[in-house]
Amino acid sequence: MATVDEVAVGDKVTVRKSADVPMSFKGTVMKVYTNSALVSIDSYQETDQNIVSDLKDKTIINFKHIRVTKAAAKAAKKPAAKESDAAAKKNSK
């Protein structure tokens, strides 16, 4: 089970079939919500083609059904922004 802190846009995920999810598939996180994520459906079984077509190749999945298989590369924080903030605070005093 994933949490909002573990799932990020661009992550490759696996979703398993359950009572709440009609099929198993692999996909990519497109958007993260409070308790779920919008996931594009990248690979699935051929027998699930009709379901995928109905979903327009994407669906919203609760975090409890998501397993992150490959995390997206995290953007490096810009140290220049911190330096400029510190300089602005120093100048305001």
Could you list the residue range(s) of the whole structural domain that residue 5 is in? 1-73
Domain count, the chain: 1
- For residue 80, tell me if it sits in a domain: no
* pLDDT exceeds cutoff 50 at 77: no
- For residue 17, tell me if it sits in a domain: yes
Task: Give me the residue label for tokens 């949490």.
Answer: 3
* Interatomic CA distance for residues 71 and 91, integer angstroms: 40
Tens of pLDDT, residues 27-46 = 999 999 999 999 999 999 99
Return the beta strands (E) in the chain as ranges: 12-15, 25-32, 36-44, 58-62, 66-70
| Nearest Cα to Cα of residue 40 among 49, 30, 50, 32 | 30
Question: Which pLDDT band holds residue 10 (cuts at 50, 70, 90)?
Answer: very high
CATH, residue 56: 2.30.30
